[in-house]
Amino acid sequence: MIYTAQYDSPLGTMLLASDGTALTALDFDDTSDCIRGMQKDLPVFEETFRWLDLYFSGKVPDCMPQLAPKGTAFQHAVWDILRTIPYGKTTTYGRIAAQLAETRGGRMSAQAVGGAVGRNPISILIPCHRVIGADGSLTGYAGGMERKDFLLRLEGSYS
């Protein structure tokens, strides 16, 4: 069973999904790929609301709800790296590709990393917005470039 909730952020309504225990998706309502399920109050939603409240107030959240994004092994490897990018810092697709190549062996393409970053189902908590172009420019963000700019400015990592 999929359970859902809504969160009103400064950037618009966000939809949350859970398997009943962990957060499985978080996306903006106007960009969501149809997060649907039964609305229900769950501890994981309350934990996520608390995290988002802290984050949008400009504070570094001190808690992380349990996350269970669905994806391939490669996507999970990329998302695990995204979770290590500190608040207020950015990285590039190329740096993530180099990290993966180092740990997995062989070569890794920045384009493949970009594909996995773009399929991140848990926006903001898995901070795909912290990935920028090699030249320091803002690059694609499923939630929209204005939102990416807002999030990076909120964190003080982009001017």
127 part of a folded domain: yes
Among the residues of 12-138, which ranges form H helices? 43-56, 73-82, 93-104, 110-118
Percent of the chain at pLDDT exceeding 70:
94
pLDDT score of 101: 92
From 52, 82, 125, 128, the catalytic residue: 128
How do strand 3-9 and strand 38-39 relate by DSSP bridges? parallel
Examine the domain organization and report whether 51 and 92 are in the same domain: no
CATH of residue 26: 3.30.160.70
**Active-site residue, 128 included:** yes
pLDDT digits (tens, 9 = 90+) for 61-117: 999 999 999 999 999 999 999 999 999 999 999 999 999 998 888 788 889 999 999
- Give me the residue label for tokens 């180099």: 98
pLDDT band (50, 70, 90) for residue 37:
confident
Q: What is the mean pLDDT of the chain?
A: 92
CATH classification of the domain holding 116: 1.10.10.10
Task: Give percent of the chain above pLDDT 90.
Answer: 75
Predicted local confidence at residue 38, as pLDDT: 76
Q: Are residues 78 and 45 both part of a single domain? A: no
Query: Across residues 38-57, what is the average pLDDT?
Result: 94
Regarding predicted confidence, which is higher, 31 or 21? Answer: 21
pLDDT band at 43 (very low <50, low <70, confident <90, very high): very high
Q: Domain range holding 143? A: 73-154
**Per-residue tokens: 95:** 């740096």
Compute, in degrees rounded to 10, the torsion defined by CA atoms 117, 122, 128, 130.
Answer: -170
Query: 32 falls in which pLDDT band (50, 70, 90)?
Result: low
- CB under 8 Å to 132, separation ≥6 — which residues? 90, 91, 92, 138, 139, 152, 158
Give pLDDT tens digits for 130-158.
Answer: 999 988 888 888 888 999 999 999 999 76
Q: What is the pTM of this model?
A: 0.92
Question: Is residue 14 a part of any domain in this protein?
Answer: yes
Does residue 44 sit in the same domain as residue 97? no
Per the structure, the count of domains in the chain is 2
Question: Residue 97 gets which letter from DSSP?
Answer: H
